[in-house]
Amino acid sequence: MILCVGLTPTVQRTQRFETLTLGEVNRASETLTTASGKAVNVARVLDTLGASVCLVQPLGGDSGRYVHKNLPFPQEIVWAEDDAPTRTCCTLLGGMVTTELVEEASPLCEADRERLIACVQGKLPLATALALSGSLPPGTNPDFYARLCAVTPRSVPVVLDAQKEPLRLALAECPFLVKPNRQETIAALHLPADTSALACAQALCEAGAQNALVSEGKAGAVLRTDEGAWRILPPKITAQNPIGSGDALMAGLIFSHFVLQATLQATLQESVRFGTACAAANCLTLTSGVVHSETINQLLSQVVLESVQ
Ligand SMILES: Nc1ncnc2c1ncn2[C@@H]1O[C@H](COP(=O)(O)OP(=O)(O)OP(=O)(O)O)[C@@H](O)[C@H]1O
Ligand SMILES: [Mg+2]
């Protein structure tokens, strides 16, 4: 089972507009409501691919009950002690641009945070890998992911998609792989603004990550391992909604590397190739963290893997 953990789930409203103008009345041509958040997206893509997953997350209020009901796989929920409602975020698709309206998550009280850690620890003996993703609620100590890494046995590889201090602090615990995007890496490690994805990946490994995957949208991603570095170029597609592509990338690589591994013996770079097809498939659906298996299979042969120095 792949154990997915995230502290900031959301109800996601995705609305499409013919044109979108700030300061005007804009009428949506289509509105979809889904459960989302980074860990939700990772778990949903893994579930679609056929992996056994368990998602640990805090929820509260009617919005939290909506998220819980709308996910078709096992979840371990820490219900907010004061029933603080789960947030709602909005994606506005207008013309060729995507606009995100992000609501801050409700703070998580100390007792709920400790219940979450205990819940993860209880599930770890059943886990093949641990996937940690997303921002932390306001007031959460930034060492949260570092703490989870520290209590995870060496036999359970940790894959982490985080930013800022939570990413920086977790690097010291040597997670198996980290997957920030290029801008997030530059901000977390205080690198010069023009640092390349390859140099970002190198810096993440020097700071402790065993492997680093640095994504940069439609330009693809760079993977750095002990054995070398690769640039992974995605298929050329017309994206409908790219939000959640990083989550689909992470889910795809975890599926290929830790679920299919026993039969496929895929190298990490091959697993990232599969993840890149999942990320492109996510771009082709209207809501984030939703992929179709047939699309992934069609796109896989168009992903290019190049060794870089
Ligand atoms: N327009 C696109 N066309 C094809 N592939 C794309 C496109 N945008 C993103 N991708 C794929 O998705 C991967 C992750 O994208 P990106 O770097 O935007 O992640 P991210 O910033 O973590 O996104 P999010 O946090 O919303 O999930 C890229 O490495 C690439 O393979
Ligand atoms: Mg991301």
Question: All domains of the chain, ordered by start, with CATH?
Answer: 2-308 (3.40.1190.20)
For residue 309, give Cα distances in angstroms to 31, 182, 229, 304. 45, 18, 7, 16
- Expressed in percent and rounded to 5, the helix, strand and coil fractions of the chain are 40, 25, 35
Query: Residue 264: pLDDT above 80?
Result: no
Strand partners, 213: 223
Query: 158-179 pLDDT, tens per residue?
Result: 999 999 999 999 999 999 999 9
Q: Is pLDDT above 80 for 95?
A: no
Query: For position 261, what pLDDT does the model report?
Result: 77
Contacts of 25 (CB under 8 A, 6+ apart): none
CA 293 to chain centre: 18
Could you give the CA distance from residue 278 to residue 234 in angstroms, rounded to a whole number? 10
> DSSP string covering 39-65, please?
HHHHHHHHHHHT--EEEEEEE-HHHHH
Closest-CA residue to 177 (of 256, 84, 96): 256
Indicate whether residue 149 lines ligand 1 (CB < 6 A): no
Q: What is the pLDDT of residues 195-237, one digit of tens each?
A: 999 999 999 999 999 999 999 999 999 999 999 999 999 999 9
CA of 9 to the centre of ligand 1 (A): 20
What pLDDT score does 97 carry? 87
pLDDT confidence of residue 309: 79
Q: Is 157 in the pocket of ligand 1 (CB under 6 A)?
A: no
Task: Assign residue 164 a region (left: φ > 0; alpha: ψ between -120 and 50; beta: otherwise).
Answer: left
**Do residues 185 and 203 make contact, with C-beta atoms less than 8 angstroms apart?**
yes
% residues pLDDT > 90 (the chain)? 95
Give the pairing type, strands 30-36 and 129-133: unpaired
Looking at residue 127, its pLDDT comes to 98
d(CA 244, CA 81): 29
Burial class (CB in 10 A: 0-12, 13-18, 19+), 45: buried
With the most atoms of ligand 1 within 8 angstroms of its CB, the residue from 36, 218, 271, 291 to mutate is 218
Structure confidence at residue 170 (pLDDT): 98
pLDDT given for residue 96 in this prediction:
80
Local confidence band at 277 (pLDDT 50, 70, 90 cut-offs):
very high
Q: Quick check: 17 and 98 in contact, CB under 8 A?
A: no
**Could you report the per-residue pLDDT of 110-126, keeping only the tens digit for each?**
999 999 999 999 999 99
What distance in angstroms lies between residue 25's CA and the mean position of ligand 2's atoms? 31
Sheet holding 97-101, edge to edge: 30-36, 10-17, 87-94, 97-101
Which range, of 88-97, 104-113, 127-136, averages the lowest pLDDT?
Answer: 88-97
Give the number of the atom of ligand 1 that is nearest the alpha carbon of residue 216: 17
Average pLDDT over residues 44-63: 98
Residue nearest to atom 11 of ligand 1 (CA): 279
What's CA 301's distance to the chain center, in Å?
Answer: 23
Q: What is the C-alpha to C-alpha distance for residues 136 and 165, in angstroms, rounded to an integer?
A: 10
In Å, what is the CA distance from 111 to each residue of 35, 70, 72, 83, 287?
A: 25, 26, 27, 13, 33
Mean pLDDT taken over the chain: 96
pTM over 0.95: yes
User: Is the pLDDT score of 106 beyond 90?
Assistant: yes
Report the DSSP beta bridge partners of residue 61: none
Give the model's confidence band at 263: pLDDT under 50 very low, under 70 low, under 90 confident, else very high: low
pLDDT at 262: 65
| pLDDT (0 to 100) of residue 132 | 98
